[in-house]
Amino acid sequence: MKTVDVIKGLQILQKYRSSQDGYDLGAEHDILYVYCTDHPVAGKDLKILADLGWFQEDADYDGGEEFKPEYYDFDQGWSCYV
């Protein structure tokens, strides 16, 4: 994933946070984890996140297929490979 796609995704997810200065992400090897948002992500932003390559690792879908907005689970965090 390109750096610009990581930044765009983080900017979208930040809009759905109550606090703008929390510890809301983690990283491990080649994956960036962003914890659950405080408010549901809107439809247009879901599509943008999916198109950028962001996904919800623990959402109810076959992780082998491409993440689509209809798989969105408010109770799950977001991830992207870097």
Give how far Cα 58 sits from Cα of 4, 20, 71, Å: 24, 24, 10
Question: Which residues form the domain of 29?
Answer: 3-81
pLDDT per position as a tens digit, 22-48 = 778 899 999 999 999 999 999 999 999
pLDDT per position as a tens digit, 38-76 = 999 999 999 999 999 999 988 877 666 788 889 899 999
Number of domains in the chain: 1
Q: How far apart are CA 21 and CA 17, in angstroms?
A: 9
